[in-house]
């Protein structure tokens, strides 16, 4: 009797669970066509490569005339006042009123793991002895204050106007801490979405130069399975010397910490964080994380390089994705040595897109494949970030440029027309001509061989690794050299 009753109860429970999930599934898959609502980005859509979508939804590259398109010109003009007002927002809104001087940590030294506490608390618990160091370093910027003027002027960067008279480097106030000029430190960002006691802060590395200059931000692993960027940021940041740096470099090697820990591209709720920027305070988990990162960290940036890799077993030539119709972004791309630059306007919700909208010059760097550490790609990334900092007058290292000019590409993806096993005949970086066979899709049952041909002449800037594919799978990314507005 009791058994039957329990069985009944169990069935009822099962039914409840089943109906629950049946109701939930259509809700998830509903409104697929509604692009405007990013808060409900769908799992089905996310299965597609960001880079494929990104390119195919991109507005065409406008040739020659740097058209003063109303929208973008407005945003760039607005940017200064926006930034001025926004600069205060993160500090006053999301952070404790008291800013502790951040300990001066030599980033080249092995550090203890960040303490699992709120940013402000972790600061108070940092070892005291380093504080006097930080203060001791303070006079340095004044002593060397004259240097950046020449360095920056030579490069004709937009900061040149401000730098004509020697300017002192200032403290950087972020995440509840004050980072003095000429020091480097580790801060922690907590999006405050977890159980407070279990909250795990995301490390943020900051180098505040002894000399004034722009703020460069580097973000890695927004997709938790994209590893090359983490190492690119580590090498770049740990190579900086605060007393020789003009400006600040803010690096978040692993933005999507939960995804990284699970080897997953997505957030724990299966959402793609890179479709939710600039985020909101009352939206989904992804919206809240995006908002917190954007307000507390990204708003401090003048320039942003968001580092990604190909996804879904696709690999990329080291390349930048940039909206070349935006003159400021186009100018930024000229600082990257030996990087192909692929025009892409970006999609709403992407970090790069949201940052550009907020007046922050931004590009996405794509380097290699997900779930792998690739030395060649990492070196290329570190090299081009070094050249960027040199070009922007932030460091002076007698950088030797590889190619005098970056090569700009317009691009298209070529998709498999049949399902089967993909065998490539071409290689990443290869030059191909229209009609050339790039690879075959072989049907293991019928023995049919379906060739995939290039539709235009150009270079293979991204491609799928050999694998089982379905019809419609984006297999080859062919870049065609393009003229760049304003050249
Ligand atoms: Zn990515």
Confidence label for 113 from pLDDT (cuts 50, 70 and 90): low
Instruction: Please tell me the distance between residue 159's alpha carbon and the centre of ligand 1 in angstroms.
Output: 31
Q: 330 or 50: whose pLDDT is higher?
A: 330
Instruction: Please tell me the distance between residue 80's alpha carbon and the centre of ligand 1 in angstroms.
Output: 29
Which two tokens mark 188?
Answer: 């922690």
Report yes or no: 133 and 178 within 8 Å, Cβ to Cβ: no
Instruction: Please tell me the distance between residue 90's alpha carbon and the centre of ligand 1 in angstroms.
Output: 26
Instruction: Please tell me the distance between residue 220's alpha carbon and the centre of ligand 1 in angstroms.
Output: 9
Instruction: Please tell me the distance between residue 370's alpha carbon and the centre of ligand 1 in angstroms.
Output: 8
Among 485, 433, 422, 483, residue whose Cα is nearest residue 460 = 433
Mean pLDDT of the residues in the chain = 77
Q: What is the pLDDT of residue 43?
A: 28
Q: What is the pLDDT of residue 172?
A: 96
Confidence label for 129 from pLDDT (cuts 50, 70 and 90): very low
Instruction: Please tell me the distance between residue 188's alpha carbon and the centre of ligand 1 in angstroms.
Output: 22
* φ, ψ of residue 392 in degrees (nearest 5): -80, 5
Residue 407 burial (10 A CB sphere; 0-12, 13-18, 19+): middle
Among 414, 418, 420, 421, residue whose Cα is nearest residue 463 = 414
Domains and CATH numbers, the chain: 70-391 (3.40.630.10), 411-481 (2.40.50.100)
Instruction: Please tell me the distance between residue 464's alpha carbon and the centre of ligand 1 in angstroms.
Output: 15
Report yes or no: 102 and 179 within 8 Å, Cβ to Cβ: yes
Distance of alpha carbon 355 from the chain centroid: 10
Instruction: Please tell me the distance between residue 401's alpha carbon and the centre of ligand 1 in angstroms.
Output: 27
Residue 409 has pLDDT above 80, yes or no: yes
Instruction: Please tell me the distance between residue 25's alpha carbon and the centre of ligand 1 in angstroms.
Output: 26
- Angle at the Cα of 22 from the Cα atoms of 18 and 23, rounded to 5 degrees: 120
Q: What is the pLDDT of residue 62?
A: 74
**Percentage of the chain lying above the pLDDT 90 cut:** 53
Instruction: Please tell me the distance between residue 176's alpha carbon and the centre of ligand 1 in angstroms.
Output: 29
Q: What is the pLDDT of residue 406?
A: 64
Confidence label for 131 from pLDDT (cuts 50, 70 and 90): very low
Instruction: Please tell me the distance between residue 308's alpha carbon and the centre of ligand 1 in angstroms.
Output: 4
Among 393, 410, 380, residue whose Cα is nearest residue 485 = 410
Instruction: Please tell me the distance between residue 364's alpha carbon and the centre of ligand 1 in angstroms.
Output: 9
Q: What is the pLDDT of residue 17?
A: 41
- The sign of the CA dihedral 123, 128, 134, 135 is positive
Mean pLDDT lowest among 100-109, 353-362, 399-408: 399-408
Whole-number Å distance between alpha carbons of 336 and 385: 7
- Interval 82-107: pLDDT, tens: 444 444 444 434 445 567 898 888 88
Q: Tell me the residue length of the chain.
A: 487
For tokens 């505040």, the residue is 208
Instruction: Please tell me the distance between residue 180's alpha carbon and the centre of ligand 1 in angstroms.
Output: 33
Instruction: Please tell me the distance between residue 108's alpha carbon and the centre of ligand 1 in angstroms.
Output: 27
- Interval 6-41: pLDDT, tens: 445 444 444 444 333 333 333 333 333 333 333 332
């Amino acid at each position: 009797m009791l058994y039957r009753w329990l069985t009944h109860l169990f069935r009822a429970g099962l039914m409840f669970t089943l109906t629950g999930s049946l109701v939930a599934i259509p809700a998830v898959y509903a409104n697929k066509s509604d692009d405007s609502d990013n808060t409900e980005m769908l799992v089905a859509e996310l299965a597609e490569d960001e880079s494929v979508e990104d390119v195919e939804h991109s507005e065409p590259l406008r040739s020659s005339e740097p058209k003063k398109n109303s929208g973008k010109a407005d945003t760039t003009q607005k940017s200064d006042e926006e930034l001025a007002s926004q600069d205060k927002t993160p500090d006053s809104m999301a952070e404790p009123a008291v800013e502790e001087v951040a300990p001066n940590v030599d980033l080249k030294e092995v550090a203890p793991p960040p303490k699992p506490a709120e940013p402000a608390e972790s600061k108070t618990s940092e070892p005291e002895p380093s504080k006097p160091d930080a203060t001791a370093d303070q006079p340095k910027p004044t002593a060397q204050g004259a240097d950046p003027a020449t360095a920056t002027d030579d490069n004709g960067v937009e900061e040149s106007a401000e730098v004509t008279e020697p300017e002192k480097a200032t403290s950087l106030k972020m995440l509840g801490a004050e980072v003095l000029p000429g020091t480097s430190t580790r801060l922690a960002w907590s999006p405050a979405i977890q159980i407070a006691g279990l909250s795990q802060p995301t490390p943020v590395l900051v180098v505040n130069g002894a000399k004034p200059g722009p703020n460069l931000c580097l973000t890695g692993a927004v997709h938790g399975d994209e590893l090359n960027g983490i190492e690119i940021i580590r090498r770049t940041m740990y190579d900086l010397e605060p007393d020789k740096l003009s400006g600040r470099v803010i690096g978040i090697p692993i933005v999507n910490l939960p995804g990284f820990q699970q080897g997953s591209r997505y957030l724990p709720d299966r959402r793609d964080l890179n479709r939710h920027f600039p985020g909101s305070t009352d939206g989904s988990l992804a919206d809240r994380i995006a908002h917190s990162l954007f307000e507390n960290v990204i708003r401090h940036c003048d320039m942003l390089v968001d580092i990604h890799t190909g996804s879904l077993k696709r690999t990329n030539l080291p390349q930048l994705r940039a909206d070349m119709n935006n003159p400021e972004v186009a100018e930024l791309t000229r600082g990257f040595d030996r990087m192909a630059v692929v025009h892409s306007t970006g999609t709403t919700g992407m970090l790069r897109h949201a940052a550009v909208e907020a007046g922050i010059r931004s590009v996405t760097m794509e380097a290699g494949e997900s779930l792998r550490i690739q030395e060649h790609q990492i070196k290329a990334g570190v090299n081009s970030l070094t050249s960027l900092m040199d070009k922007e007058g932030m460091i002076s290292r007698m950088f030797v440029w590889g190619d005098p000019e970056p090569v700009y590409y317009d691009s298209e993806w070529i998709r498999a027309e049949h399902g089967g096993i993909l065998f490539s005949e071409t290689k990443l970086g290869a030059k191909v001509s229209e009609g050339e066979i790039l690879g075959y899709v072989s049907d293991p049952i019928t023995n049919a061989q379906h060739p995939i041909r290039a539709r235009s002449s150009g270079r293979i800037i991204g491609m799928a690794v050999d694998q089982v594919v379905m019809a419609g799978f984006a297999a080859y990314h062919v870049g065609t050299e393009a003229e760049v507005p304003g050249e």
